[in-house]
Chain A
């Protein structure tokens, strides 16, 4: 099987999620079980048929715990992807490869997280301080927001991107969340004044440039295209997949490349488009990883929606809103629906191509989903 042979060879046939909230009473393992069972129920596939699993290395619920809790059959493929939110789309990519090559027949990808009620990862200095953080943390560059703000400042300086451009991203996500009853920010509008007068987190990033802190879990189910035809729901085909780790990259502080503003998105994009039947111009709707607003203009450039340095201006004139040039993060994304390491972006992509999104793009047939930019990343092209 070649990489090109992955094209539309598999489909997502089930999606599931728990409630999203700042604080949920159940533990991560229980939330994982609920999301996985919901996804299998959506697909109409019994847990005993699952033989492939994929999640993030940061996932706390082990394969063995999940498998025995929900009653999986014999597992013949399991995989974990590193670098936090950079791994989201790669979980689906790994399952697609496993199913297309016959290593598994029913794959489940999932992510469960209690980031809302749990501690912030950056406060655990014992885990955070060893290499590579010796070069950054002692100087007070402590949090992911600080690390990305460093790139954002340089990006704004070099290309004239403004806080209004970042606000456009935050607003598009919030407007979509206002349409989505499952979103944490449902019925909570955002205004420009709220944005411009909010407190700083790490200048030039303010409160609304940062994703939510959320408890919740999500999962999806993958099978071959042949089997997908017999499933309960309309299949959403995995058209192209990619991972990306650029030369001389360095974790989330890729300050030591020749060109730190062309991050992992550029590497993933080259691989993603290489095997696709369509281009960025043909993408109907995009779910772009938004732990921070500033990642979106960088990703718009990397994935080829605009030229170098044009990512800020691309957001103008409602381009990211419904009816705009590229409707973005239609469930509200990490900024306004839930921050579950980007997995909600995958499920929202599926909803759009099923025609069941709460902010449906009419006739959407193609969707780009991306994982964390700034860290080694991954991406999916989905099609109906």
Chain B
């Protein structure tokens, strides 16, 4: 499986995720949330940032079901879902992820028939892995 190749701006997201926290970058001056992370605030141009804990709840904004040809690790689990989740507190903050049956389950663990736009979901964190989503 592919693991994130992080940059200076993105590294904190993955470090918090490894600790079981879904945090989003926010401007320390004007308070606006922003994603993906970046060096300064597009609203007030401040370089002061903080990482705000989210509720970990959201809704499915859209989703796809990829079929091969895919990279081998992914082809082995295809067809699987990839969802885009908009966060409950700030819908324009959207995160790409996978809707699974339980934390740590494979990408194809949830019947694709159960994935719906608008479905309520919550984040889960498999041991040391990427954040995943389950139906709330």
Residues on A lying within 8 angstroms of B by beta carbon are 120, 123, 125, 129-143, 145-146, 149-151, 153-154, 157, 199-205, 248, 250, 253, 255-258
Contacts and interface: CB of A to CB of B under 8 A. Distances in A.
Given A150-B84, A255-B84, A129 B71 contact: no
B5 A140 contact: no
Contacts of A132: 36
B40 interface: no
A140 B2 CA distance: 8
Interface string B1-32: 11111110110001000000000000000000
A125 B65 CA distance: 20
4 shortest A-B CB distances, which residue pairs?
Answer: A154-B62, A203-B65, A134-B4, A149-B64
A316 B48 CA distance: 51
B72 to A, nearest CB: 10
Contacts of A205: 64
A134 B6 contact: yes
A136 B96 contact: yes
Given A135-B36, A202-B65, A248-B42, 15 more contacts: A131-B7, A131-B10, A134-B14, A137-B2, A139-B98, A140-B66, A140-B80, A140-B107, A141-B64, A153-B63, A154-B61, A202-B67, A203-B79, A256-B94, A258-B92
A141 B65 CA distance: 9
B74 A199 contact: no
B56 interface: no
A133 B5 contact: yes
B96 A141 contact: yes
A140 B67 contact: no
Interface of B: 1-7, 9-10, 14, 35-36, 42, 61-67, 69-71, 74, 77, 79-80, 82, 84, 92-98, 107, 112, 117, 130
Contacts of B67: 199-203
A32 to B, nearest CB: 28
B96 A135 contact: yes
A205 B14 CA distance: 31
A256 B92 contact: yes
A146 B10 contact: no
A256 B64 contact: no
B66 A139 contact: no
B30 to A, nearest CB: 16
6 contacts: A131-B10, A134-B5, A138-B130, A143-B70, A153-B117, A154-B117
A138 B4 contact: yes
Contacts, number: 109
A142 B74 contact: yes
Contacts of A141: 64, 66, 82, 96
Contacts of B74: 140, 142
A250 B36 CA distance: 9
A138 B67 CA distance: 16
A258 B33 CA distance: 13
A138 B1 contact: yes
A142 B7 contact: no
Contact of B94 (A123, A125, A129, A255): A255
B104 to A, nearest CB: 15
A140 B98 contact: yes
A130 B96 contact: no
Nearest to A199: B67
Contacts of A201: 66-67
A257 B86 CA distance: 12
Nearest to A130: B5
Contacts of A133: 5
B107 to A, nearest CB: 6
B24 to A, nearest CB: 11
A139 B82 contact: yes
Contacts of B93: 256
A129 B117 contact: no
B35 A202 contact: no
Contact of B71 (A125, A199, A257, A258): A125
A159 to B, nearest CB: 13
Contacts of A151: 62
B62 A138 contact: no
Nearest to B94: A255
B92 A129 contact: no
A204 B62 CA distance: 11
Nearest to A138: B2
Contact of B3 (A138, A149, A257): A138
